[in-house]
A and B are shown apart, each in its own frame.
Chain A
């Protein structure tokens, strides 16, 4: 199996604070990998380093064999890595369909001159993009919402649109930052099936951060635990549940 993402001793320091300390992980293709840890453990920082939003103090990130440290985030997206945000960040004044369309931007096939002159090339590709976007929405079951404003959707659907929008960029690796945050148990369950489904139909590798233990334990094949920026454990769900270091990180020391 190919290694999709390899983090090699990533360290991220903000002044005197070490948010992530020598984090290493290997994520194989087609797996669902979970990253958990108490609040402030540095999970989102690790995400931001991987997606290129932050430049690590030291360490290396390898994406399908290529080092991506120092590349601009939009460049990394065009290489096949997409992400969602902890607090849903849709383009609220655009419709659902338009939100999806922005995902095609990096492979746009007409230029500004085509746009202003409305050349046949513009019409052809604009139509193609719209059709592809509709197909994508159909495959994730959101087609009937295509022309609604993103801000008007209920919370659970907004999350699904956000994931669909990330899928529009044509990713090989999907990074989800707390996808189940703020959801009720039913929505969480739906989301679990949703992720499972898109993973299969889009042939993805998924890397997610989550607080909801049931969600992580049911969905992920491998889980890594981060505490105070340090990785304290990695393994399958059963191993993680029994790991004394993990229990101590979450519940405190029993002896103390």
Chain B
């Protein structure tokens, strides 16, 4: 193991030490936000794989997260709970009695979502351009309508309530770190180079002998898997899911994160996730009633979105490519940065 690997492992250990400390000392509210950061980091990183690295403008997350959430939720609810909940139409019998623990439920949620991604990718990646965005946008809406109407499976508009709260800070960050490792290893390999080649120039990528269809599929299916798992984690964190929960706004939030972080930069995504999720919590202050120079302002709901938008516009003006651009954080660049400073001081 070289120095850089040790540093990376150390920083991950440090992260978990912080979380462990926080678990006992920080408020429940703060820890709840950190849990959300973990889940969103996984979602944003996988979304960045398809959108930033492979350059395919897709709007799939809310649909895929919904699928993962529903599958996991149905699997972790006990038969008795399901019987009590499905009051309009009874649940289909084979699902009614299906029950398992959290981990396999998450994996199955991810795999089902990946399979849906596989099926969806077949028609869309045969064409190029904006079709992917249109199809995936429509897909998200379709999932909402389907989950609203397949009452014997999803309980329709009533949703699923009282999910067991398995999701802890460890589940969230365990998965987030795992997803980051898998995705970053993919990006830093021939597959990642091929994905970036597709982003930069698809025709040239084909002329290099790259099977662009399967490269795009690989990115899409990987993203789908982690989005499905993320959906399962969210379901158990919020303990209630309904068809209207996973709207386009979720996709939009992830899109903000990856654009702020830098399209194609995974470390940028990690930074941006923390900034955006914590930012939107901290900005709740501006929605409180306040007095400025004797002027009384009543609390305006939605004000933080206004402030947030202004911040986004500023980022787009002053750092058009996001915080990190397409670059990744590396220990080398950090060392170089300090070296330069030292030289400057002398």
Contacts and interface: CB of A to CB of B under 8 A. Distances in A.
Interface of A: 51, 53, 72-74, 77-78, 82-83, 85, 89-94, 98, 101-106, 108, 110, 112, 115-116, 118, 122, 126, 129, 165-166, 168-169
Given A78-B209, A91-B201, A98 B189 contact: no
A72 B212 CA distance: 11
Contacts of A73: 206-207
Given A78-B209, A93-B326, A102-B197, 10 more contacts: A73-B206, A74-B212, A77-B207, A91-B197, A91-B204, A93-B200, A105-B210, A118-B185, A126-B190, A168-B208
Given A94-B200, A115-B185, A116-B186, A82 B207 contact: yes
Given A93-B326, A102-B194, A115 B207 contact: no
Contacts of A92: 200-201
Interface in B180-209: 182, 185-186, 189-191, 193-194, 196-197, 199-201, 203-209
A102 B210 contact: yes
B190 A101 contact: yes
Contact of B208 (A72, A105, A118, A129): A105
Given A112-B186, A116-B186, A165-B208, A94 B193 contact: yes
Interface of B: 182, 185-186, 189-191, 193-194, 196-197, 199-201, 203-212, 218, 264, 326
A170 to B, nearest CB: 9
A77 B205 CA distance: 11
A74 B207 CA distance: 6
A93 B186 CA distance: 17
Contact of A105 (B190, B203, B218, B326): B190
Contacts of A110: 189-190
A72 B326 CA distance: 31
B193 A101 contact: yes
A108 B206 CA distance: 15
Contacts of A82: 207
B191 A102 contact: no
Contacts of B197: 91, 94, 102
Given A73-B206, A91-B204, A104 B190 contact: yes
Contacts of B186: 112, 115-116
Nearest to B187: A115
Contacts of B200: 90-94
A73 B209 CA distance: 7
A45 to B, nearest CB: 15
A90 to B, nearest CB: 7
Contact of B189 (A53, A126, A165): A126
A242 B190 CA distance: 51
B204 A85 contact: yes
Nearest to A95: B193
Contacts of A101: 190, 193
B190 A51 contact: no
B196 A94 contact: yes
B209 A93 contact: no
B43 to A, nearest CB: 19
9 contacts: A77-B208, A77-B209, A89-B201, A90-B200, A91-B204, A91-B205, A93-B196, A93-B200, A110-B189
Contacts of B210: 74, 102, 105-106
Contacts of A126: 189-190
A102 B205 contact: yes
